[in-house]
């Protein structure tokens, strides 16, 4: 029997996934889930056949340029690949795969949860209850804003954007979107979505903005200070994509000055660090990057990682190859 490939997994994954990896590969697991240092990642890249990183590992040029000759596949556990230097990987002929599709619905659910939480002040209400200061119902108590009938502008109409659009219609929101490419007319009709070629124009007309595009060099600070200024004073911004897509200091300043109504953020520019000013604001709902955090989702992601590795080591093209030009 041919030697099994050495697969180094950087974080703790669901038991079922780890067990299957042990059966199929010579898997080196991280059972106590301590994030690996850059030095440890370099060591791993030197000896592994396959590396399985997550969003918390920065697979940069330093790591890739010191990778051993055996490293031919990086099978990332997650959809976003902005933590991997794709260009250097390509130059070194290292294939990159990700896990698209299986976290779409969970992330879209979390987007809706954040929209509702920020507009209906759910976290604030919870904090009030736990503080023991609630005096009982009053007609003017804890007033938020209705979302039914409002306009939702989705930035990035990929899988997750579309899943958000489907949910949003059920909540009575009218769906608008900006995307590099306009989606097919049939899909637009199905989602009853209005396309805006100009992001600027869409931003200035929406009640709620949801960021659902990947973080790439082209989307870094897509919601720049200038663009954020275009938002209406009553607008909410929700981000379940990547913190880097929004200029976080500019957003924070606007929230402090109530130049927009609020924000729901699951992701941050310098994770796990969070701007301390955000922590002091009541008009933001903050979550610890948990958009796709369901047991089912993590198992499905792990299954995808296994399929990608197995097909690759068996000499086939893995299904979830990341092609830079398609990002």
CB of 21 to ligand 8YV, least distance (A): 16
CB of 27 within 8 A of CB of 48?
Answer: no
Q: How far apart are the first and last CA of the chain?
A: 38
Nearest Cα neighbor of 296 from 304, 288, 306 is 304
Active-site residue, from 124, 242, 248, 298: 242
Given the rule CB under 6 A, which residues bind ligand 8YV? Answer: 54-55, 77-80, 103, 291-292
CB of 12 to ligand 8YV, least distance (A): 12
Give CA torsion, residues 284, 288, 292, 293, to 10 deg: -130
Length of the chain: 327
User: Considering beta carbons, is residue 179 or 241 the nearer one to ligand 8YV?
Assistant: 241
Nearest Cα neighbor of 109 from 45, 149, 182, 164 is 164
CB of 86 to ligand 8YV, least distance (A): 14
242 catalytic per annotation: yes
Active-site residue, from 92, 271, 303, 321: 271
Instruction: Report the sign of the C-alpha dihedral through residues 230, 232, 233, 234, in that order.
Output: negative
Tokens read off for 319 = 């299904």
CB of 113 to ligand 8YV, least distance (A): 14
CB of 78 to ligand 8YV, least distance (A): 3
Active-site residue, from 182, 289, 303, 321: 289
Task: Give 234's Cβ-side CA count (13 Å radius).
Answer: 10
**Taking the CA atoms of the chain, what radius of gyration do you get in angstroms?**
21
User: Considering beta carbons, is residue 115 or 235 the nearer one to ligand 8YV?
Assistant: 115
Which residue lies nearest ligand 8YV, judged by its C-beta?
A: 78
303 catalytic per annotation: no
145 catalytic per annotation: no
User: Considering beta carbons, is residue 54 or 174 the nearer one to ligand 8YV?
Assistant: 54
Neighbours of 111 (CB within 10 A): 28
CB of 56 within 8 A of CB of 76?
Answer: no
User: Considering beta carbons, is residue 5 or 80 the nearer one to ligand 8YV?
Assistant: 80
CB of 246 within 8 A of CB of 217?
Answer: no
Phi/psi region, residue 67 (left: phi>0; alpha: psi -120 to 50; beta: rest), is beta
User: Considering beta carbons, is residue 78 or 318 the nearer one to ligand 8YV?
Assistant: 78
Residues annotated as catalytic (active site), given as ranges: 242, 271, 289
């Amino acid at each position: 029997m041919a030697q099994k490939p050495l697969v180094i997994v950087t974080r703790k994954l669901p038991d079922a996934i780890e067990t299957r990896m042990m059966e199929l590969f010579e898997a080196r697991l991280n059972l106590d889930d301590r994030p690996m240092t850059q030095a440890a990642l370099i060591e791993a890249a030197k000896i592994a056949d396959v590396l399985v990183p997550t969003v918390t590992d920065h697979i940069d040029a330093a790591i890739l340029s010191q990778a051993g000759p055996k490293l031919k596949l990086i099978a990332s556990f997650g959809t976003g690949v902005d933590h991997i230097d794709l260009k250097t990987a390509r130059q070194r002929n290292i294939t990159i795969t990700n896990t698209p599709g299986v976290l779409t619905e969970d992330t879209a659910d979390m987007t809706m949860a954040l929209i509702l939480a920020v507009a209906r002040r759910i976290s604030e209400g919870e904090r009030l209850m736990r503080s023991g200061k609630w005096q009982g119902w009053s007609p003017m108590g804890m007033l938020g804003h209705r979302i039914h009938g409002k306009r939702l502008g989705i930035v990035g109409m990929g899988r997750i954007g579309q899943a958000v659009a489907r949910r949003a219609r059920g909540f009575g929101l009218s769906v608008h979107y900006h995307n590099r490419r306009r989606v097919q007319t049939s899909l637009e009709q199905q989602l009853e979505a209005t396309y805006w070629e100009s992001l600027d124009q869409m931003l200035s007309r929406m009640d709620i903005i949801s960021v659902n595009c990947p973080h790439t060099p082209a989307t870094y600070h897509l919601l720049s200070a200038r663009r954020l200024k275009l938002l209406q004073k009553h607008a909410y911004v929700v981000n379940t994509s990547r913190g880097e897509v929004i200029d976080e200091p500019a957003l924070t300043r606007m929230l402090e000055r109530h130049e927009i109504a609020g924000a729901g953020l699951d992701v941050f520019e310098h994770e796990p660090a969070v701007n301390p000013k955000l922590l002091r604001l009541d008009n933001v709902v903050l979550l610890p990057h948990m958009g796709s955090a369901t047991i089912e989702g993590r198992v499905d992601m792990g299954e995808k990682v296994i399929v990608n590795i197995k097909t690759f080591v068996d000499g086939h093209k893995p299904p979830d190859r990341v092609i830079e030009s398609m990002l």
